[in-house]
Amino acid sequence: MTEIRKLDRETRASIAAGEVIRRPENVVTELVENAIDAGADRIEVAVDGDGTDRVSVTDDGRGIPAEAAPLALERHATSKIRDAEDLPRAETLGFRGEALPSVATAAGRLELTTNAGDDPEGVRVVADDGDRTVETAGHPPGTTVEVTDLFADRPARKKALASAATEFGRVSDAVTRYALANPDVRFRLAHDGRETFATPGTGYTDAVLGIYDRTVAARSTTFDHEATLTVDGAERPVRIDGLLAYPSVTRTRPSHVYTGVNGRGLVEETLRAAVVDGYGTLLPDGRYPVAAVSVSLPPALVDQNVHPAKRDVEFRDPAVVADAVESAVRDALATGDLRRSGDLAMDLEAALAPLSDDESAFADVDVLGQFRGLYLLCAAGDDLLVVDQHAAHERVNYERLRAAVGDVESRPVDPPETVTLSPAGAAAVEERAGALADLGFEVEPFGGATVRLTAAPAPLGRVADADAFRDAVDTLREGDDPEDVRDDLLKDLACHPSLKAGDELTDEEATQLVERLGACEQPYACPHGRPTVLSIDEETLVRGFERSHARLGE
C-alpha cells in the first residue's frame, strides 16, 4: 500500500460515482473490503441492533500511518491507484477512496483507530456531526472503524429500513459472502455482543463448517481448477476453486450458492447459474446445491467498478468465464464421492390417505405398471396415461398441507433435532417464528445460529426433518407478500415426502396414488406447474404403428 493522496479531476471523471450508503449492509461491505485490501488475516465484525446503532469492523492488516490517517476521510483520497492509467490493472477490491467519507457523511459518528505498526501507539480520527478530531490512541497493528448513529440526520432513509432481524440478516449474508470468498481469512460476526459465527481461516471446509454445520462440511468436496481463457484473441489464466456439497445436500433456493471474484463476495447470477449447471442432472428438480466457488482472473478481464453497492462485476466476456466455471464444477463432481444416504423419504400409508370423500377423477383408471421407477402407465378408456409419480405425489401432499394450514397437527421430534442455520436464517427464525408455528414447526434457541427442532408438521409423516425446516426458513426469508410466502412454502414442503426417482411401488400403492391424484382440486399439474399426467390417445398409436382405422382390433 502506497501513500494516500487525492485523485486528480481527470481520474475522478473516469470512474463510477461514489458508494451509496443505503443500509447497514453497505457500511459492512465497504469496511470489510478495506480490511481485505489491507492484507488482513483476521476480520471481526460487530453489529448492535439493526446496524444503525453501531457497526464495528476490526482487522489486523496494514494500518494507516499517523500522518496519513486524517486524509483517509477526505473524498477521492486513496492509496490504491495513482491515476486513470491504473484503473484497468487495479487488483484491489476498491480504489475510489470514497468508502470512509461516504460512511462518515451518513453516520452520526465515525471513529477510525489505526496503527501502521511502526509506532507503539496508533492514531484515532473522529468525524462527529461535521467536526473532525485527531489524537494518539493505543491500538495493535491494524485498523478499527466504528460507526454509530447511522442515518441520524436522515430520518427518511432510516424509516425505509426493514426490521432489525431483516437488516441484520442482510449484514450476515454480506459477511458470509466474504468469508466464503476468502476462506484463508479468519472472520467473526457478533450481534448485540453474541457471536453469530466464526471461521478459522484454514480453507473452504472449515469455513463452511463455521457457517453451516458438520453435515454440509462432511458431505462435500473441495476443488482447485486452473484453465486458460481466450478473450479478445489473447490467452489469459483463470483459477477456479471452492467447495461443492454433494447432490444429496440441497436447498430450495439458489441463495446457498456463493460466488466470489478476486476476493469479492458477490450476488452474481451468471456465475451462480454456471455452478448450478455444473451439477447438471445430479440435482433433483427444483433443488439447488450448497456451494462456494471463487474465480481469480486478471483485472483486465473484469470491471469491479460497475455496481455502487459492490454486489456485481462486469466480465469482459461473461460467456467464456461461465463456461469455465461450469466445466470446473462438472469435473470436480465427476471425481467426488457422491454417495447418497438415508431411508426412503416418504410414508405411503399416511401420505396417500384419502384427501376427501369426493369421487376420484381417475377412479376408472387401471394401472398397468411402472416404468423406470419414474412413471406409472395406466389405461383410461381408449387412452394410455403416463403419470409422473413424483409430480402426482407432490400435488396430493400440497393439497393436504394447504387444507391443513392454520390448524396443522404437529408431531414431536423425539429426540429434538439440532439444526445449524446460516446467520441470516437464524435471524429469519426469530422474526418469523409465528409463521413457522402456523406451519407446524416448533423450535427452541440453542445458541448462536443453532436451534432445536422440537416439533414438525404431521402431514409430512416422518420426513419433516431438518431439510424441510431449512427450506421453510429460506422461503420465509425471501418472500414478500405473506400469502405468497406461505403458498411457496407449502409447495416446497410438499416436495419432501413425495416419491423420488427410482422408488418402486406395489400395484396397490400405484393405484392409491392415481386415485388420490384424481381427488385433487387440480390433478393435472404439480404445485410448481409441471404436468402430472400425459395422455397418449389410440389415434397416436395407430399412426405410429401404421395401422388403419379398420384394423384397430387386430
List, in order, residues 6 or more apart from 49 with CB less than 8 Å away.
164, 192
| Mean pLDDT in residue range 97-112 | 81
What's the confidence (pLDDT) of residue 291? 97
User: Of 176-180, 283-287, 402-406, 441-445, where does mean pLDDT reach its minimum?
Assistant: 402-406
Nearest residue to 514 via CA among 375, 337, 392: 392
> Highest-confidence range of 300-314, 448-462, 511-525, 526-540, by mean pLDDT?
511-525
Domains of the chain: 5-201 (3.30.565.10), 214-335 (3.30.230.10), 348-536 (3.30.1370.100)
Q: How confident is the model at residue 458 (pLDDT cuts 50, 70, 90)?
A: low
Average pLDDT of the segment spanning 5-15: 50
Task: Identify which has the larger pLDDT, 485 or 265.
Answer: 265
| 190-217: average pLDDT | 92
Residue 300 · residue 89 · CB < 8 Å: yes
Give me the mean pLDDT over the 12-40 stretch: 78
39 Cα distance to chain centroid: 26
**Strand, helix or coil for residue 272:** helix
Residue 481 has pLDDT above 80, yes or no: no
Per-residue pLDDT at 93: 61
Other CB atoms within 10 A of residue 183 CB: 26
Tracing cell 439447488 back to the chain, one arrives at 288
80 in Cβ contact with 94 (< 8 Å): yes
Tell me the average pLDDT of the chain: 80
Helix axes 164-181, 423-431, angle to 10 degrees: 170
Q: Which amino acid is at 377?
A: L
Among positive and negative, which fits the CA dihedral 76, 80, 82, 83?
negative
pTM above 0.75, yes or no: no
Q: Cβ contacts of residue 375 below 8 Å, gap of 6+?
A: 386, 387, 388, 389
pLDDT band at 328 (very low <50, low <70, confident <90, very high): very high
Report the SS3 class of residue 196. Answer: strand
Residue 63 has pLDDT above 60, yes or no: yes
CB atoms within 10 A of CB 472: 29
Q: What pLDDT is attached to residue 446?
A: 86
pLDDT at 503 over 50: yes
Helix (H) or strand (E) holding 155: helix 155-159
Beta-bridged to residue 377, according to DSSP, are 369, 386
Distance CA 23, CA 17 (A): 18
**Residue partners of 331: CB distance under 8 A and separation at least 6:** 223, 225
Residue length of the chain: 554
Residue 445 has pLDDT above 60, yes or no: yes
Measured N-to-C along each axis, helices 24-37 and 99-106 cross at an angle, to the nearest 10 degrees, of 150
Distance, in Å, from the CA atom of 32 to the CA atom of 274, rounded to the nearest integer, reads 26
Which pLDDT value is given to residue 432? 84
Residue-level pLDDT at 98: 57
